Copies of this chain bind each other. A is one copy, B any other.
Amino acid sequence: MQGQTIYFKNKPKIISAAAIAGPKECEGVLREYVDCALSDDMFGEKTFERAERKMLLYAVNTCIEKAGFTPKKIDAFISGDLLNQIISASFTAREIGIPFLGIYSACSTMSEGYLLGAALTDGGFARNVVAATGSHFSSAERQYRYPLEQGTTRPPQSQWTVTGAGGAVISSEGKGPAITSATIGRVIDYGVSDVNNMGAAMAPAAADTILAHLRDTGRSPDYYDLIITGDLGALGSRLVKDLVWERGADISANHVDCGEIVYKVIEDEFQGGSGAGCSAVVMNSYIYDKMTRGGGIRKVLFAATGALLSTVSSGQGETIPCISHAVSIENWGEED
């Protein structure tokens, strides 16, 4: 470990990736990249929670299939989600029967999953690991905010939880983009307490981790084709660029935020996508495709952010602690 950064000497590969997304999410660029574009966000289920779980199971099974494996070939399933007690991940693990490691990092769960999956395979502990997560707009609204039926007005700083799930098979063998290093985030809290302004709360954590990564590796931002954040939204994306700039690095030329890509963002209305599913879907469909099928993207730094609050902590007057884990993913021309 150098600073906050660990290196994967054996360069574990992301040998397959899969994603599924809801109707609103598939109105934009994602539609042609996801494995399943839902026409109904209930996915044939009776509750939002069951629909969320079914999407996660779909993403897990699909990335395993695309790797040419059966679940028996997978040594560990690493997952978590936004619902209390990560029930989407746990119930999915019950269905597939793979040894399960539960994680929680709010909307940065995908990057923590990549990180731990890479560590387990690189360290020789496992051959094939699945890392996956997802979220559902309606289950998140019900748990974190207001009943949908109430029709509460959303302030313009708010974001929209992505309905979708994504997952990847990380393997010690095979072809695909390699996870070459990862920077474990510290918890950063600039004192933001507005739960409708997650972009502002999370941007400092993203900046802290991106800067730590650049410092630890001695790289400049232009080492990467893209520096990808998870769900800062339009406002948060401006903030992270400013915060990094203030501390001497310029990511304005190659920064992209998954939350900004997902929807057509009209900033007077809302700031873009959020939720654990946001970067999970974008990374495991659009970005993975651009890295493996001639899209010209070879090196990305993926720094998803998570807001580590709960309704209880907010209700008790606490500010919002945030975290960002960064994963360096590089492909050296081994394209499909």
Contact status of A91 and B321, CB under 8 A, knowing A6-B126, A119-B125, A310-B84: yes
Q: Are A184 and B87 in contact (CB under 8 A)?
A: no
Question: In the complex, which residues of chain B have a beta carbon less than 8 angstroms from the beta carbon of A309?
Answer: 85, 87
Contact status of A98 and B308, CB under 8 A, knowing A80-B104, A104-B103: no
Q: Which single member of B99, B122, B187 contacts A94 (CB below 8 Å)?
A: B187
Q: Are B127 and A1 in contact (CB under 8 A)?
A: yes
Contact-size category for A: 35 or more
**Chain A window 152-189, contacts with chain B (Cβ cutoff 8 Å), 1 for yes, 0 for no:** 00000000000000000000000000000000111111
Q: Are B87 and A310 in contact (CB under 8 A)?
A: yes
Oligomeric state, in copies: 2
**CA distance in complex: A311, B185 (Å):** 30
A276 CB to closest chain B CB (Å) equals 12
Q: Are B187 and A90 in contact (CB under 8 A)?
A: yes
Question: In the complex, which residues of chain B have a beta carbon less than 8 angstroms from the beta carbon of A184?
Answer: 75-76, 99-101
Q: Are B6 and A85 in contact (CB under 8 A)?
A: no
Complex interface: stretch among A26-34, A36-44, A291-299, A312-320 = A312-320
**Chain A window 100-117, contacts with chain B (Cβ cutoff 8 Å), 1 for yes, 0 for no:** 111111100000100110
12 more contacts with CB within 8 A, not counting A4-B99, A6-B126, A87-B310, are: A1-B75, A6-B120, A47-B316, A50-B316, A76-B184, A84-B311, A86-B104, A93-B187, A93-B323, A119-B120, A123-B123, A143-B312
Give the B-binding residues of A (Cβ under 8 A): 1, 4, 6, 47, 49-50, 75-76, 80, 83-87, 90-91, 93-94, 97-106, 112, 115-116, 119-120, 122-127, 143, 184-189, 308-313, 316, 318, 321, 323, 325
27 contacts between A and B (CB under 8 A): A1-B126, A6-B120, A6-B125, A49-B312, A50-B316, A75-B184, A80-B104, A84-B84, A84-B85, A85-B106, A85-B309, A87-B309, A90-B187, A91-B321, A94-B308, A98-B186, A100-B187, A101-B103, A101-B105, A101-B116, A102-B103, A102-B308, A102-B323, A119-B123, A122-B123, A123-B125, A143-B312
